[in-house]
Chains A and B, each alone.
Chain A
Amino acid sequence: MGGKTNWLKSCRVIDLTTDLGSLCGRILADMGADVIKIEKPSGSPERRMGPFFKDIIRPEQSLQWFAFNAGKKGITLNIETSDGKNIIRKLVQSADILIESFSPGNMDSLGLGYKELNKLNPRLIYTSITLFGQDGPYQNYSGSDIVLMALSGLLYINGDSDRPPLRFSVDQVSCHAGLQAAAGTLLAYYHARRTGIGQRVDCSAHEALLVTLFDVVPSWDLNHFIIKRQGDRAMRAKIAQKVLFPCKDGQVSWRFLTGARGGRTKELVNWMAEENMAGDLINIDWETISFDDISQDQASKWEQVFGSFFGTKTRDELYSEGKYRGIMIYPVNNLADVYCSAQLESRGFWQKVEHEAFGEEIMYPGLPINTLDVCNEKICRAPNLGEHNLQVYKDELGMSIKDIIILKQSGII
């Protein structure tokens, strides 16, 4: 079942991400890589981010830290000190990948930039994740989730038309940046494995969101048309098509389809007719009408009829009967619904992760893939602060306990 694989088991990753792009290392760990997250001695800023386990606000209890750092080992290191830099230099020599998300130029100013580390290990993949990229007019711009949403175009096209453009109430930018950085990193890794040649992977969170805009870019380029926000509707040809409909116990998402997929609309109309709620819709040949010929007025009238029908049924009724009849109608879920999904349960999507400090196992979302080979390894929880210091410094780098204590007391680890 899902969860993790061991396909990247011979890949070693040094993870210097902060709150930006942290998901990158998690995904690589889920794919089997050995990921060492390096935090400054006082802990990553991610540990400050809520929500918290049982609302106990402590650095070892941040659910955001848990979510994006599960599967990683954790060490502490102040990379601004000379001992810290030496340790980084040692670690990269046996690493395949280094990921970092400091401001542009930061690692360079520490003498730990791509050029220097590439000399030590020519096959190293050096992935840098920043808000806007390594250079350019915005390289020093301040950012946050909503600012990047705005500049990427995703903000403008969402929300009700009588109110300002709208972002998700949950941070998303760092997730896109981290996910796409993982893809870019593995592209470079594929090449390095075959040629021995490492390279820099320069990832921009701002640019990462551009991919989510669907037809916004070609609409302007081809026809000088600006896509605008329409609340619960989406622009299609000349009309704003309703997508979310209230029903008895919430909302469902559905759109009327025509042409090649008009049969699905026909199925719904047939169902409605069985309950005498189809009205004039039964006379429409959904398979031959062209979407491009439909007016807004016409669409809105139809949508009212469909909406009245949906209003008589629950989400479950619409979803299960819809599935049986081949109608693409979906419940609008909250996260409780997601967690209770029979589909996710049957696919083994939820992974038990042990948190011995709390004396319980917590269910986490796993990788979105199932394979025929089942990986029997479980996902490990995110590391406590400095949890693997001894394992890395003593066992792997051969440092003495005495030296490790010196480093600890000097604030270097």
Chain B
Amino acid sequence: MQRCLEGLKIADFSWTVAAPLSTKCLADYGASVVKIESIRRPDILRSRSPYAGNRPGINRSGTFNLYNSNKYSMSLDLQRPEGIELAKRIVKWADVVIENFAPGVMERLGLGYSELKKLSPQIIMLRSSAQGQTGPHASLPGFGVMLQGLAGFNSVLSWPDRDPLINYSPYTDYIAPFFMVIATLAALEYRDQIGKGQYIDLSQVEAGINFLSPQLLDYVVNTRLPKRMGNRCSYASPHGVFRCKGEDRWCAIAIFNDQQWDAFKKVCKEQWCLDPKFATALLRIHNEDQLEQLVQQWTQGFPAEELMTNLQNAGVPAGVASDGSDLFEDPQLNKRNHFWYIEHPDMGMIVNEDFSFKLSKTPSRKERSSPCLGQDTEYICREILGLSDEDFIKLLNMGIFT
């Protein structure tokens, strides 16, 4: 099968989650991605649990593995001029440079845009940072778990009687990378047409904010803020997460119209279903408190999976609140080959994940796990940079590949 991004070359200076997820996407779809790392200052995700066998190690992070499949790893000491020199040669080889250091770092390394443009006039440089390269707050780096608060997401995640809560994962780190892929591919298209490179300054917070557009317009136009509603919906009931049989097992149920309510009544044969106070959509909302209690009493008697299957077969939106182990059993995810396994040099067979879009003719490749740190340094030096044996050994002895 042909590769989607055949021939596309990426110099990847990124680390942690957001930017590496974008370069994983490009790598999975066939681009050659050279991830430049350093043993002295490794990608901090390499020291993020879970570790294989609960044994920490720079090549043993299952989390790092998720965001770095199909990439090459070259280790370079960017504090040394020879290291910078090699980095520049990678830039010259590349079509696109992607980085997510704090603003100013690339410039201090002598790898700012004006330098890169001298090396490669048509280079596309994509810079991803917490809040952008410019502006009064540009200098402070940030993790996605905090940036979600800056973007307003915590303010819409809680129960009406409680303060904002966090989304467990660094939420904006999953919005920015797809904008990065989009911007990269669109910039490449433009470069093909007019022969010009591009400098792209992406803000992760701004990317996240796009997911709250209707609510922001509501504030701009109506001076109104969204309410924290728990699991309720302002125009549908029952709409919530209901306890099922077993320890911490739940099923989400959402009924939006009479059709779905009729379907629900086919599965739930309780007497209260026929109560006229629940007969219409409007009445179900007005009597929401009582309705939820009754549904809750009923669902407790069933395992979540059985409840979901029965409700779905009747035509009611319902879904098990899957935990980590449930996801691996999910028949739909397995049908889509979401989880894939390949041998990792240090960890053995561990899980990787595919993207949610399946291309019929140029599918994602499942050829390599994430690399060990510096695993491909020699290959890159010889095959991509064309270094001679003597030059490679000289640099090796100087400690440039650390």
Contact = CB atoms under 8 A, between A and B. Distances in A.
A7 to B, nearest CB: 4
Interface stretch (B214-222, B276-284, B386-394): B214-222
Contact of B186 (A32, A50, A222, A372): A32
Given A179-B175, A220-B325, A369 B202 contact: yes
Contacts of B154: 244, 251, 253, 332-333
Contacts of A202: 357-358, 360
A interface residue count range (under 10 / 10 to 19 / 20 to 34 / 35 or more): 35 or more
A401 interface: no
B183 interface: yes
B5 interface: yes
A244 B181 CA distance: 31
B190 A221 contact: no
Contact of A244 (B133, B163, B351): B163
Given A191-B5, A218-B62, A201 B132 contact: no
Nearest to B190: A7
Contact of B166 (A142, A193, A244, A368): A244
Contacts of A168: 153, 156-157, 167
Q: Which of A5, A141, A214, A372 has the most CB of B within 10 A?
A: A214
B195 interface: no
B340 to A, nearest CB: 11
Given A32-B186, A133-B335, A343-B137, A175 B211 contact: yes
B273 interface: no
B7 to A, nearest CB: 8
A225 B63 CA distance: 13
Interface stretch (A76-84, A86-94, A152-160, A295-303): A152-160
Contact of B327 (A182, A216, A329): A216
Contacts of B219: 335-336, 339
Given A157-B168, A244-B165, A244-B166, A371 B135 contact: no
A344 interface: yes
Contacts of A142: 260, 312, 315-318
Interface string B156-174: 1111001111111111001
Contact of A347 (B135, B159, B239, B325): B135
B179 interface: yes
Interface residues of B, number: 159
B316 to A, nearest CB: 6
A370 B25 contact: no
B216 A343 contact: no
A157 B169 contact: yes
B49 interface: yes
B216 A335 contact: yes
B229 interface: yes
Nearest to A141: B312
Given A142-B315, A149-B252, A207-B356, A335 B62 contact: no
B162 to A, nearest CB: 7
A229 B218 contact: no
A144 B140 CA distance: 37
A170 B226 contact: yes
Interface stretch (A35-43, A61-69, A389-397, A405-413): A61-69
Contacts of A259: 47
The majority secondary structure among interface residues of chain B is mixed
A261 B181 CA distance: 29
A212 B355 CA distance: 11
Most buried by B among A7, A172, A244, A366: A7
A223 B320 CA distance: 23
A388 interface: no
Given A31-B186, A214-B17, A53 B221 contact: yes
A122 B193 CA distance: 21
B171 A5 contact: no
Nearest to B236: A144
B342 interface: no
Interface stretch (B84-92, B104-112, B142-150, B375-383): B142-150
A143 interface: yes
Contact of B63 (A135, A155, A218, A243): A218
B35 interface: no
A334 B225 contact: yes
Given A133-B332, A190-B185, A333 B25 contact: no
B322 A211 contact: no
Contacts of A287: none
Interface string B206-244: 110111111111111110111111110101000111110
A272 interface: no
A335 B323 contact: no
A331 B321 contact: no
Contacts of A153: 322-324, 326-327
Give the top 4 A-B pairs by smallest Cβ distance, nearest first.
Answer: A184-B357, A218-B62, A368-B206, A136-B335
25 contacts: A11-B189, A54-B221, A146-B239, A146-B252, A149-B252, A150-B251, A156-B250, A170-B226, A190-B185, A191-B361, A193-B189, A197-B361, A204-B332, A215-B62, A217-B353, A218-B66, A231-B165, A260-B41, A330-B146, A330-B150, A338-B152, A339-B216, A343-B205, A367-B206, A370-B134
